[in-house]
């Protein structure tokens, strides 16, 4: 295999959860550009329709499914249907997630559990659904979308940090348990990324914008474009001996103590 081919995803089927927009859409688009066939899910018809339209506008023939990633029977049914419609999943990207910004002492346990269920239990359910086929074929890639909160804490995100910290360890354990089947499980930990949701925070003069820039050696917010290369690397043969790692795409935040006053 030559150097160019090592990053090719031709003939591969990639399932990206919650990929109708944002980071998931960008990662799925990158995998498509590398040659993969894209399937994705979202939780309702409206999100799914918007996703299908967005892929069509980008020139990508993606197939979408309605599925709640916390519902194990529904996930098993979706994965089986994907197998019938396009073939077995070669690449799973666990992207679907939520965040709840509430001081811990004010947070209801049910709200804490909801974040854990979507951000941690769902990746377990998704991985469990695709692993048997990957084991049978002795090949597979699982990419978990982690976070800097897999390493750091911050005010108001106790549930999210707990879930993403757990996702880091689930990533390592999947690598440990299934590496012998030539299955690689790694994570991507995005830094602060420019999305429509973060647009108000990025206004010049906004305290949070100043805070992020001061903490980032790159002195800028990341873009969804910054995530494309890492995603293709971890989905391709280029990472066949990389297992159990989280690749932080954060402009250097985790390496940096911050600017001197």
> What is residue 3's predicted lDDT score, i.e. its pLDDT?
80
In a domain, 136, yes or no: yes
CATH number of the domain enclosing 145: 3.40.50.720
Compute how many other C-beta atoms are within 10 angstroms of the C-beta atom of residue 219: 12
Token couple for 258: 């911050």
What is the pTM assigned to this prediction? 0.97
Mean pLDDT for 187-201 is: 92
Q: How many CA atoms lie within 13 A of 196 on its CB side?
A: 2
Residue 160 lies in a domain: yes
> What is the helix (H) or strand (E) element at residue 16, kind and residue range?
strand 13-17
| pLDDT at residue 17 is higher than 90 | yes
139 located within any domain = yes
Q: Phi and psi for 17 in degrees, rounded to 5? A: -80, 145
Residue 163, pLDDT score: 98
Q: Are 65 and 39 in contact (CB under 8 A)?
A: yes
Residue 257 lies in a domain: no
Locus of tokens 């799914």: 48
Count up the domains in the chain and report the number. Answer: 1
Print the domain residue range for 42.
Answer: 5-251
Average pLDDT over all residues of the chain: 96
Residue 261 covered by a domain: no
- Is-contact 190 147, C-beta < 8 A? yes
Any idea which residues carry the catalytic annotation?
Answer: 160
Return the pLDDT at 82.
Answer: 98
Over pLDDT 90: what percentage of the chain? 94
Contact predicate 161/97, CB 8 Å: no
Question: Does residue 163 belong to any structural domain of this protein?
Answer: yes
Nearest Cα to Cα of residue 159 among 197, 198, 107: 107
Q: Does residue 260 sit within a domain? A: no
Q: Is residue 196 part of a domain?
A: yes
Residue bearing tokens 């699982």 = 142
Q: What is the pLDDT of residue 92?
A: 99
């Amino acid at each position: 295999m030559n150097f160019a081919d090592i990053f090719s995803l031709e003939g591969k089927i990639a399932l990206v959860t919650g990929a109708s927009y944002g980071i998931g859409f960008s990662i799925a688009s990158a995998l498509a550009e590398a040659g993969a066939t894209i399937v994705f899910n979202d939780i309702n018809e409206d999100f799914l329709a918007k996703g299908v339209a967005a892929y069509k506008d980008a020139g990508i023939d993606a197939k979408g499914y309605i599925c709640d990633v916390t519902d194990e029977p529904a996930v098993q049914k979706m994965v089986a249907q994907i197998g019938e419609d396009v073939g077995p999943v070669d690449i799973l990207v666990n992207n679907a997630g939520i965040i709840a910004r509430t001081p811990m002492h004010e947070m209801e346990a049910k709200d804490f559990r909801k974040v854990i269920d979507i951000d941690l239990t769902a990746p377990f359910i998704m991985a469990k659904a695709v692993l048997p086929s990957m084991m049978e074929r002795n090949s597979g890639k699982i990419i978990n979308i982690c976070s800097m909160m897999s390493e750091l804490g911050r005010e108001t995100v106790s549930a999210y940090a707990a879930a993403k910290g757990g996702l880091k360890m689930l990533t390592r354990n999947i690598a440990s348990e299934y590496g012998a089947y030539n299955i690689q499980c790694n994570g991507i930990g995005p830094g602060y990324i420019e999305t429509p949701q973060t647009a108000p925070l990025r206004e010049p003069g906004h305290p949070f914008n100043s805070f992020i820039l001061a903490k980032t050696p790159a002195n800028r917010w990341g873009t969804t474009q910054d995530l494309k290369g890492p995603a293709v690397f971890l989905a391709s043969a280029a990472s066949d001996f990389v297992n159990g790692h989280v690749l932080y795409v954060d402009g250097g935040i985790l390496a940096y103590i911050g600017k001197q006053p």
